[in-house]
């Protein structure tokens, strides 16, 4: 697969089609409804078109189709996993926007669909040999054979990653910027940085970079759950297919911080009646503390880039 052509096609696709899609989404009244529990100033974003994740997904697919014959099992499974979760996100967004049910899919519906998608990916990957039950321990050069435990742990890992990326998508450009850094790291860190799986990672990054032109502050379009679940599926699949899923905890430290802040906030409030943060996920805490959205996005992305560089060299030293 061409290491440059596919990412470039995805980038150009997103740059050219997003401005075409924005007025269409507005005409179709696919506007974001801002929830009352969020920061009060977010109400000015009410009506901003959402479901822009469709542009990211179609951009990745359009870029990879010309190279379909060169795609490996790993690259195909990564794409199927990402698109599968993107479809779940689309259903959630459709219910929110078109059916005017602000919370979208019910919690049990969304979780059930996510478990189904994760189970299909894991069993399919193991059956074809794209996945291995031996998992690397980051920065040690060691692997651990999980045997049958791999299946439930891999499913849980996918659910964690997908929903962590979803939580990160709370302010303009944040999820896109952080995920570009994470997915590029996964592409470069692959055993063969020019492999079809790596090209898949770079292609996702290309589509995201093009979308970010319109998603950065002040956002003209949101990716919605369509985009964030697609990205979570892409990150989770790529890391699992490389046999090194735990590396995402280090590189995707922002994802982990977002998730842990929500868990800690809920746990603290239930046990003590007190909140640890002004608002969770943690990017809202910094907003409430006076940080601008641009500053939060810049700092969180910089942290991700630094962690990616450190992880890359640490992995190289231990191989």
For the stretch 288-298, pLDDT in tens is 999 999 999 99
The pLDDT of residue 204 is above 90? yes
In a domain, residue 292? The reply is: no
Domain range enclosing 128: 5-247
pLDDT at 42: 62
pLDDT at 168: 97
pLDDT band at 104 (very low <50, low <70, confident <90, very high): confident
In a domain, residue 273? The reply is: no
pLDDT at 63: 97
Report the pLDDT averaged over residues 267-277.
93
Report the pLDDT averaged over residues 255-268.
96
The pLDDT of residue 249 is above 90? yes
pLDDT at 115: 98
pLDDT at 297: 98
Report the pLDDT averaged over residues 87-104.
84
| Residue, of 56 and 35, whose pLDDT is higher | 56
- Domain count for the chain, please give it: 1
- CA 38/CA 31 separation, integer angstroms: 17
In a domain, residue 313? The reply is: no
Give pLDDT tens digits for 236-245.
999 999 999 9
Q: What is the mean pLDDT of the chain?
A: 92
In a domain, residue 281? The reply is: no
In a domain, residue 40? The reply is: yes
pLDDT band at 33 (very low <50, low <70, confident <90, very high): low
Report the pLDDT averaged over residues 259-285.
94
pLDDT at 97: 82
Give pLDDT tens digits for 140-166.
989 999 999 999 999 999 999 999 999
In a domain, residue 114? The reply is: yes
Give pLDDT tens digits for 162-180.
999 999 999 999 999 999 9
Report the pLDDT averaged over residues 19-33.
82
pLDDT band at 193 (very low <50, low <70, confident <90, very high): confident
The pLDDT of residue 219 is above 70? yes
The pLDDT of residue 39 is above 70? no
In a domain, residue 319? The reply is: no
The pLDDT of residue 41 is above 60? no
In a domain, residue 265? The reply is: no
Report the pLDDT averaged over residues 74-102.
90
């Amino acid at each position: 697969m061409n290491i440059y052509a596919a990412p470039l096609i995805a980038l150009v696709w997103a740059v050219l089609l997003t401005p075409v899609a924005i007025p269409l989404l507005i005409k179709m009244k696919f506007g974001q409804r801002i929830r009352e529990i969020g920061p009060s100033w977010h109400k000015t974003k009410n009506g901003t078109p959402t479901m822009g994740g469709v542009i990211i997904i179609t951009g990745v697919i359009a870029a990879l189709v010309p190279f379909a014959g060169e795609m490996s099992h790993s690259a195909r499974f990564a794409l199927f996993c990402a698109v599968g979760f993107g479809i779940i996100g689309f259903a959630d967004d459709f219910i929110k926007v078109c059916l005017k049910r602000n919370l979208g899919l019910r919690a049990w519906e969304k979780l059930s669909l996510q478990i189904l998608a994760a189970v299909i990916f894991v069993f399919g990957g193991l059956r074809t040999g794209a996945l291995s039950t031996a998992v690397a321990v980051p920065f040690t050069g060691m692997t651990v054979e999980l045997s049958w435990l791999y299946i439930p742990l891999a499913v849980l890992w996918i659910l964690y990653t997908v929903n962590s990326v979803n939580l990160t998508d709370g302010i303009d450009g944040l999820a896109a910027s952080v995920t570009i850094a994470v997915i590029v790291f996964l592409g470069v860190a692959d055993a063969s940085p020019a492999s079809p799986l790596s090209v898949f990672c770079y292609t996702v990054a290309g589509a995201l970079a093009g979308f970010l032109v319109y998603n950065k502050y002040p956002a003209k379009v949101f990716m919605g759950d369509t985009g964030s679940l697609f990205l979570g599926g892409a990150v989770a699949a790529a890391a699992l297919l490389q046999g090194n899923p735990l590396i995402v905890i280090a590189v995707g430290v922002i994802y982990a911080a977002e998730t842990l802040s929500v868990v800690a906030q809920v746990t603290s409030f239930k046990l003590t009646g007190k909140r640890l943060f002004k608002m969770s996920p943690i990017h809202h805490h910094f907003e409430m503390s006076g940080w601008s959205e641009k500053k939060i996005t810049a700092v969180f992305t910089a942290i991700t880039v630094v962690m990616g560089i450190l992880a890359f060299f640490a992995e190289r030293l231990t191989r």
